Each structure stands twice: as C-alpha cells, then as structure tokens.
Amino acid sequence: MKFERVAFVGAPTEPAQLALKQFVAKYGQHKPAEADVVVALGGDGFMLQTLHRNMGHKLPHYGLKTGTVGFLMNLYTDADLMERLDRAQASELYPLRMLAQRESGTDEDALAINEVSLIRQSKQAAHIRVWVNGVVRIEELMCDGILVATPAGSTAYNLSAHGPILPLTSNVLALTPISPFRPRRWRGAVLKGESRIRFEILDHYKRPVSATADASEVRDITNVEVFEDRDVCLQLLFDAEHSLEERIVNEQFAC
C-alpha cells in the first residue's frame, strides 16, 4: 500500500496533542474526505471513536499509542511514519449491528466494533430470554447483563467477563453472560459469525435494562437484535512484526 495524504487526529490529552502538532508540521494535514489514510494518536477508546466518526469515508486507519490502552494501536515513534504505513498489514473488521427497541416503542440502530452489551439499570438482576437464529436457547437468564463480542473485541470487556478470546479470522462471535446467577452452569457460547441473536427483556418495567453498542447507549429496552453487518468493512493497519492476529494469539498465553 502507498499512502501520500494523511489525516491526523489526536485524543484530547497532552501527549496526543503534542504528537499531533509534530506530525502535522512534518507531514502536512488533510481532511478525511481528501486523505488516503487516517492516523490516530491516542488509545483504544480514541481509535474506536475515530473509526465510528470516519465510517463513511471507508479509509484505512493506523493508530499510534499515546494513551494507556493500545491493543488496537502500534508502538509510538515519531520516525519513519510513511515507511511504516507503506509496510503495514491490513486487518479487516466487520462490526455488529444493534437494533434496539425501547419501552416507548421507538427503535435505535447502532454499530459496535468491539461488543454489544446489555446491563441492568437498577439494583435488581436482569431477566433476559436469549434467542439464537429464531430458537429460544435460554428461557430466562438471571444476570447483571450479557454481551456479544467480535473477535477484535473479545480481548476487551468480553475477556473481563471471562469470555473466550477469539482468533481474528475465526468468523465466530462470543456470547458471554455478565455475573450470571441462573442457569448456574451456563458460562456462554461461541456462535457462527452469521448468527442472529435476540434478547427479550422480561419484566422490563420492574427490571430495566440498557443496551450499549461500544459507546452508544440505549436505555429502557424491551428487545435487542444483534448480528454481524458484512456490508460494513473496516480496515486497521498494523506494523508487520506486530499484527492484530498475533496480538490476539499472544493474549491467550498471557499470565
């Protein structure tokens, strides 16, 4: 890949803003609509925000870590940026689409690169019926919540909830409960990437639940459908010696 026009963006932190000024002074600056690539300076949270903001431009994104968490980022250095971009390897990500219905009857549509998570809004446990491909798999899950994670997001919230780490090209999704109480022995499932998952909130007036697609939250939901949207493809660039696929493998052996 050959990149000439770069759109630099930086997180609102001192290290990221300092790096942003240095890169713009050295390489120039282009708007995303006119650029060949977006270079994001910050951490994983800022990279997710940047990917969401620039989905319409369909540009590859290359991250440099100046934040605290950088699983989706490359090691920061201010040298040889254009050469690193030319040698970088692309990883394709397909986000999850969340279709949520509120108690009011209104609908919300959002995309998630990492995960879609359902969380109880009150002191009482959520009661959720779980459907997979039109079949009820769990009649009543009593829990703090439940999430669906992509392979790229499987090392984030999903891993913290004791879900499995998924290889990037595995074409599967992780379905992981959050603090489940009943059924006592159910600890989640690994589903085919083309699966359609639906959550029905039981007793939603007494036990309200919110749904979040990455950072987009919908409160007081009654139903949520989640599926992988293959019509949307995101490209992340990584240094060849430290690919995203290799990082995910390494996470499975981290102690």
203-218, pLDDT tens digit by residue? 999 999 999 999 899 9
Please tell me whether residues 112 and 77 are part of one structural domain: no
- Separation CA 73–CA 239 (nearest Å): 9
pLDDT of residue 231: 94
**CB-based burial of residue 76 (10 Å sphere; 0-12 exposed, 13-18 middle, 19+ buried)?**
middle
Note whether 139 and 132 are within 8 A (CB): no
Note whether 218 and 212 are within 8 A (CB): yes
Q: What angle do CA 89, 93, 98 make, to 5 degrees?
A: 165
Structure-token pair, residue 253? 């052996």
Please tell me whether residues 116 and 193 are part of one structural domain: yes
Candidates 89, 106, 125, 140; CA nearest to 207 is: 125
Please tell me whether residues 239 and 208 are part of one structural domain: no
- Separation CA 138–CA 133 (nearest Å): 13
In a domain, 1, yes or no: no
Q: List, for the chain, all residue ranges whose pLDDT scores fall below the cut of 50.
A: none
Can you give the residue range of the structural domain that contains 103? 96-228
Please tell me whether residues 100 and 219 are part of one structural domain: yes
In a domain, 22, yes or no: yes
Please tell me whether residues 88 and 111 are part of one structural domain: no
Please tell me whether residues 116 and 223 are part of one structural domain: yes
Token pair 């300076």 is found at 41
pLDDT of residue 1: 66
pLDDT of residue 255: 65
Please tell me whether residues 78 and 104 are part of one structural domain: no
Number of domains present in the structure of the chain: 2
Entry pTM: 0.89
pLDDT of residue 163: 96
pLDDT of residue 71: 82
Please tell me whether residues 102 and 82 are part of one structural domain: no
- Separation CA 173–CA 170 (nearest Å): 9
Residue type, 105: G
145-149 and 115-120 strand pairing: antiparallel
What are the catalytic residues?
44
In a domain, 187, yes or no: yes
pLDDT of residue 139: 97
